[in-house]
Amino acid sequence: MTAQAEPVVAGPSQQEGPALAARTRGLRKTYGRTVAVDHVDLDVPEGAVLGMLGPNGSGKTTTIRMLLGLVQPTEGEVELLGHAMPERAADALPDVGALVEGPGFHPFLSGRENLLRLGAAEPRLTAGQISAAVDDALERVGLSRAGGRRYRGYSLGMKQRLGLAGALLVPRRLVVLDEPTNGLDPAGTREIRSVIADLHREGVTVLVSSHLLAEVEATCTHVAVLNEGTLVAQGDLTELLESESPGLEVSTTDASAAVAALRAAHLNARPTPDGVRVELTRAAAPDVIATLVGAGVPVHEARRSRTGLEDLFARLTQDSEEAPTWTS
């Protein structure tokens, strides 16, 4: 594994910042010789929708499972809603709704019957409250009409939404969702997004893991980026993006010649689908174009780029031995 720089941090420091719904310090998990999570100091501010981003295998699920007390850390501390985990799980977990792995619903029962069974195991609901809580939860995730149908016939999106309804049977302070839109079509993704937006409006803290950059950019107020088990950036999403250096997008038919010429001139450049993106920290746009033209690279168009999440992650993860694959 490549040595990582100090994580990029945006937003107020912890002393003056908001209360934290979840917090880890020095969190580490190893499986044999595999380091799944490496000294992660994660802050999830109360009221945030925090997107935990990272390529496959970067440690998102393991971190989430340690937060919820489902996996014992090798080292480090976890606090969930102010309670030490896993020791004080019984104090913390009633306020936490989680959708962590494929929910174990019964295939031959309807969505509603499955939720009734879950409701019966929910310590905050009396027997008389379960039915109304189930109906509320079904409505919240848009499954009221499909509630009577067998789980077996549900689409993947409906199954995910039913899992979410199960996590929301009672009001929660924190909702944790591990890749909730995995495998969903755009309509299913929009539905999950809208449930997250509703929770945010109600002041519920949401921690959602994803490897979809566009998804996080559209839904989240905060972001935490994991790469090879290490936290490489975290903070307020807008502040993180604003702290990024400006770039120039150059359209060219010869991206490899362009990258070679720019790197020879000690400029940071990386290929994009229609050319290259050049960081404008060490050179102004006219110098970049002059360098390319001087090297005989055909320049069809050049425009300043708005820094997006994709650029931020390309930079944060560019030192990896294997370039991570991001999907936007």
Ligand X SMILES: Nc1ncnc2c1ncn2[C@@H]1O[C@H](COP(=O)(O)OP(=O)(O)OP(=O)(O)O)[C@@H](O)[C@H]1O
Nearer to ligand X (CB atom), residue 64 or residue 258:
64
Asked if 36 is part of the footprint of ligand X (rule: CB under 6 A), the reply reads yes
Among 1, 12, 19, 31, binds ligand X (CB under 6 A): 31
Based on CB atoms, which residue is closest to ligand X, 114 or 227? 227
Among 24, 58, 160, 189, binds ligand X (CB under 6 A): 58
- Nearest to ligand X of 33, 145 (CB atom): 33
Q: Which two tokens stand for residue 67?
A: 């937060």
Q: Is 280 helix (H, G, I), strand (E, B) or coil?
A: coil
- For residue 54, the minimal CB distance to ligand X (Å) is 5
Q: In terms of CB distance, is 58 or 114 closer to ligand X?
A: 58
Among positions 38, 40, 53, 61, the unique one binding ligand X when judged by CB under 6 A: 61
Residue 99 sits at φ, ψ, to 5 deg, of -125, 95
Contact between 265 and 74 under an 8 Å Cβ cutoff? The reply is no
Q: Which is nearer to ligand X, 38 or 95 (CB)?
A: 38
Please spell the DSSP secondary structure of 54-114, one letter per residue.
Answer: --TTSSHHHHHHHHTTSS--SEEEEEETTEEETTTHHHHGGGEEEE-SS----TTSBHHHH
For CA atoms 228, 229, 230, 232, the dihedral sign is: positive
Question: Per CB under 6 A, does 111 bind ligand X?
Answer: no
CB 220 within 8 A of CB 210: no
By the rule CB under 6 A, 230 interacts with ligand X: no
- x/- contact string, 173-212, with ligand X (CB under 6 A)? --------------------------------------x-
Please give the Cα distance from 146 to 111 (Å, whole number): 7
Least Cα distance to 326 among 211, 180, 209 occurs for 211
When asked if residue 15 is in the footprint of ligand X (CB under 6 A), the reply is no
- Work out the burial of residue 220: count CB atoms within 10 Å of its CB; fewer than 13 is exposed, 13-18 middle, 19 or more buried: buried
Q: Which of 34, 155, 238, 328 is close enough to bind ligand X by CB under 6 A?
A: 34
Cα-based torsion angle of the residue sequence 109, 110, 116, 118 in order, rounded to the nearest 10 degrees = 70
Run of H or E including 292: helix 285-294
> CA 271 to CA 249: how far, in whole Å?
10
Residue number with CB closer to ligand X (31 or 152): 31
Q: Does 54 bind ligand X (CB under 6 A)?
A: yes
Under rule CB under 6 A, how many of the chain's residues touch ligand X?
12
Binding segment for ligand X (CB under 6 A), chosen from 49-57, 95-103, 213-221, 309-317, is 49-57
CB of 231 to ligand X, least distance (A): 12
60 binds ligand X (CB under 6 A): yes
- Under the binding rule (CB under 6 A), the answer on residue 59 touching ligand X is yes
Can you give the binding site for ligand X, defined by CB under 6 A? 31, 34, 36, 54, 56-62, 211
